[in-house]
Amino acid sequence: MRRVCVISGGITKFAKANPELTQEAMCKDAFDRALADAGLELKDIDSSICTYFSDHFNGQLLFDSLTQDYLGLCPKPSMRIEGGGATGGLGIRAGYMNVASGLSDVCLVYGFEKMSEVSTAKGNEFIALASDTDFDFPVGGFYSGYYATMAQRHMHEFGTTAEQFARIAVKNYDNAFYNPYAQKHERLTVQDVLNAPMIATPITRPMVCVMSDGAACVILASEEKAKQITRRLVYITGLGCGTDTMRLGDRPRGDVILLPGEEPEKYAYLKGRWPGVASFRGGREAARQAYLQAGITDPLHQIDFAEVHDAYASSELQTYEDMGFCKYGDGGKFVESGLPYLDGELPVNPSGGLIACGHPVGATGIMQGVFALWQLQETIQDHMKSDRLQVKDARRGLIHSHAGTGTYITVHILERGW
């Protein structure tokens, strides 16, 4: 396989509603920004991967052909990738395959979602249709409800508190305040978050990501091609993908999957109990694969920042543990220690994450790739008109994309090569 670089990225400002533009025009705006940033032209793109989540949001099937056409990419090869909330991350994985295999030298990975054409309650119903419609949807019909039961179990098993979830939401809002692409520019206190309207105990409204209209793209290239295009090389050095049962209740209770360098004794206290409904086995498996490939044995110190899928503040906390940033059960202490803050040892979601940037599903996992690329190219100042969110001396970043209750999870490790 060939080495693969991310050479540029583009994104639209995520918004609650963007009725001024169609999805294809939003994709074009993101694409034009990525082309301009790399000094590329349309003819330089060999292939594309299109990612969007749901046909229900707009009633348009084969939207990928509409966008492929609009971007001027016909008759080049393309493919749509879909995997719930992990749609964008899976798209980057597919783009990597295109380039690493030699099928393409330069591949555009672009994704979008326009969620504003239906009411929030209807949108939640569509998202919930991505749970088992025979057994789970008729009973709950709401993803926040499913994640809330996971959060409740985590609190029961490990003593995690709602205040710790609230701290994560506050952190992400604080970061997004300096991200002009974010949907939300608000400042909240822990008390504000805890006192906000309850969605599903223990999750309040600001602990949940918001529906959004947006598009994002990254351009991937072979190392050889990338060297002709940019001096600021950023390599994809590790990829992982994990899955889990569609129904949360079917998750096994066994032993922790060990990350490279971990010994079984470390998790003796969880023997026969993991993951249950408190953790994401697919996330752990994705991290294991990616760390093995990238040679990571001490993620807390060997990774400089992470953009993780915080559809819920609680799932960000659970993800700290899955990624091995701390031990299982220590996610609450991890946030209290300050480590995932912008000035901490391992800033998590310096962009503001999904909670504050918004979650236009098909664009989200790619958004993470864009922000991670800018961190590693040290171009946050250029793109955000402020270097406030630039992680100092960022050499290695992790991006984590996640679908409904952890059914699909991807992890990519991006590394600076300049």
Q: What residue ranges bind another protein (CB under 8 A)? A: 19-20, 59, 119, 121-122, 124-125, 127-128, 132, 134-136, 138-142, 144-146, 148-153, 156, 197-203, 245, 247-250, 252-253, 277
Q: How far is the CB of 212 from another protein (least distance, A)?
A: 18
Q: How far is the CB of 136 from another protein (least distance, A)?
A: 6
What ranges in 46-141 are assigned the alpha helix state H?
Answer: 63-70, 87-100, 120-128
Q: In terms of CB distance, is 325 or 408 closer to another protein?
A: 408
Q: In terms of CB distance, is 45 or 361 closer to another protein?
A: 361
Q: How far is the CB of 373 from another protein (least distance, A)?
A: 32
Spatial separation of the C-alpha atoms in residues 8 and 27, rounded to whole Å: 15
Q: Answer whether 283's CB lies under 8 Å from 411's CB.
A: yes
Beta-carbon count within 10 A of 230 CB: 19
* Best CA proximity match to 85, nearest among 282, 327, 398, 309: 309
Q: How far is the CB of 301 from another protein (least distance, A)?
A: 34
* Best CA proximity match to 166, nearest among 143, 135, 196: 196
Q: In terms of CB distance, is 128 or 188 closer to another protein?
A: 128
Instruction: Go through the chain and tell me how many residues it has.
Output: 418
Q: What angle do CA 135, 408, 350 make, to 5 degrees?
A: 125
Q: How far is the CB of 408 from another protein (least distance, A)?
A: 17
CB neighbour list of residue 20: distance below 8 Å, 6 or more residues apart: none
Q: How far is the CB of 100 from another protein (least distance, A)?
A: 31
Spatial separation of the C-alpha atoms in residues 143 and 55, rounded to whole Å: 18
Q: In terms of CB distance, is 5 or 199 closer to another protein?
A: 199
Q: In terms of CB distance, is 179 or 407 closer to another protein?
A: 407
Rg value, the chain, Cα:
20
Q: In terms of CB distance, is 59 or 75 closer to another protein?
A: 59
